[in-house]
């Protein structure tokens, strides 16, 4: 099969590309390399340096998508805090970019569109675990944009007859995660600090809890979502581990040298109900955070 992965030079996208190539598919990467890295790109995939948020690139995007069976849309300006600092650029990349690639997929007769959504759409909630039909409460531009993307995908299924499915990721970690800069997540930050032999920094008291999901499990969810006959009408599926753990506990797994910093405005906890993904995709996570850290903390 011929597949297109937007953001295929990024953390999740490049891992997905590797698996699709390994399975013998013809893979095309679209990336503007604003955060993705050329060294992440699989040598057997064809790379197209394109910014999907620019309407002037629609013709080139159409040429890439021509004859494509499915699009995996992993491209995005990611992370909550940077979106608060730069909401206009985030809106352009995460909203206009999505509309452009979706409409191009429709015009190119693409069968299915798999959208990388985000658990940040739930926002602060005392009701855990979170189910896909729970109320949403996005508290950042990034979260609002990712939620709007789900609505857009469902609308495109109804109006333009393209199969879509949205996967709400919970705190993805694993190989090629960013270790520094604005796009780094807590696991990447900890590993970077560990490599520099400096104390791990914990925001607040560290009691906030997160549901961490291994990138290989996210890749598997994408592939199942692409092929499952049970989805395609704009469904939303949580992709998480189904359990959460405190940030302080994660830090202690890695080091005894910990510093506490000022708390950030963020949800206290998240936790995914993954029953829907189990039922519709026959998907379950295979790799725990604890086992991955044990294998990688001294690498």
What is the domain-level CATH number for residue 254?
3.90.25.10
What pLDDT score does 80 carry?
A: 85
143 with 112, same domain: the answer is yes
pLDDT at res. 23: 97
pLDDT of residue 297: 74
Q: Is residue 278 part of a domain?
A: no
Q: What is the pLDDT of residue 149?
A: 98
DSSP 185-241: -HHHHHHHHHHTT-PEEEETTS--EE--EEHHHHHHHHHHHHH-TT-BEEEEEEES-
34 and 96: one domain? yes
- The pLDDT value recorded for residue 290 is 95
One domain, residues 47 and 9: yes
pLDDT value of residue 182: 61
Question: Which structural domain, as residue segments, surrounds residue 264?
Answer: 178-211+243-271+287-296
Instruction: Check residue 299 and give its pLDDT.
Output: 63
**What gap in Å lies between CA 221 and CA 215, rounded to an integer?**
10
Instruction: Report pLDDT digits (tens) over 158-181.
Output: 999 999 999 999 999 999 998 876
Give the pLDDT of residue 265.
73
Q: Are residues 116 and 206 in the same domain?
A: no
pLDDT of residue 68: 97
Q: What pLDDT, on the 0 to 100 scale, is given for residue 271?
A: 97
**Structural domain includes residue 72:** yes
Known catalytic membership, residue 142:
yes
CA distance 149 to 146: 5
Omega before 129 cis (within 30°)?
yes
Catalytic residue among 3, 122, 142, 183: 142
Q: 234: part of which helix (H) or strand (E)?
A: strand 233-239
Contact between 142 and 120 under an 8 Å Cβ cutoff? The reply is yes
- 235, 247: one domain: no
Q: Is residue 251 part of a domain?
A: yes
The residue ranges of the chain whose pLDDT is under 50 are none
């Amino acid at each position: 099969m011929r597949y297109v992965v937007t953001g295929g030079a990024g953390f999740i996208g490049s891992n997905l590309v590797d698996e699709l190539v390994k399975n013998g598919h013809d893979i095309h990467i679209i990336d503007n390399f604003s955060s993705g890295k050329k060294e992440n790109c699989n040598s057997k995939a064809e790379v197209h340096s394109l910014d999907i948020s620019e309407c002037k690139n629609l013709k080139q995007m159409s040429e890439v998508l021509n004859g494509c069976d499915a699009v995996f849309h992993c491209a995005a300006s990611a992370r909550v805090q940077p979106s608060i600092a730069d909401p206009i650029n985030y809106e352009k990349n995460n909203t206009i970019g999505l509309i452009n690639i979706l409409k191009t997929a429709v015009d190119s007769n693409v069968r299915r569109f798999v959208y990388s959504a985000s658990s940040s759409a739930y926002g602060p909630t005392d009701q855990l675990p979170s189910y896909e039909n729970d109320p949403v409460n996005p508290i950042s531009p990034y979260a609002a944009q990712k939620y709007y993307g789900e609505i857009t995908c469902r609308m495109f299924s109804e109006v333009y007859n393209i199969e879509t499915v949205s996967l709400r990721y919970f705190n993805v970690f694993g190989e090629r995660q960013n270790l520094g800069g604005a796009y780094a997540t807590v696991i990447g930050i900890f590993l970077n600090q560990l490599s520099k032999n400096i104390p791990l920094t914990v925001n607040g008291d560290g009691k906030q809890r997160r549901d961490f999901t291994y990138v290989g499990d996210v890749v598997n969810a994408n592939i199942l979502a692409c092929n499952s006959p049970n989805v395609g009408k704009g469904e939303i599926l949580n992709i998480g581990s189904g359990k959460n753990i405190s940030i302080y506990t994660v830090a202690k797994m890695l080091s005894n040298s910990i510093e506490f910093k000022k708390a950030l405005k963020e949800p206290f906890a998240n936790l995914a109900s993954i029953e829907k993904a189990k039922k519709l995709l026959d998907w379950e996570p295979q790799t725990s955070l604890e086992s991955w850290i044990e294998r990688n903390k001294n690498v």
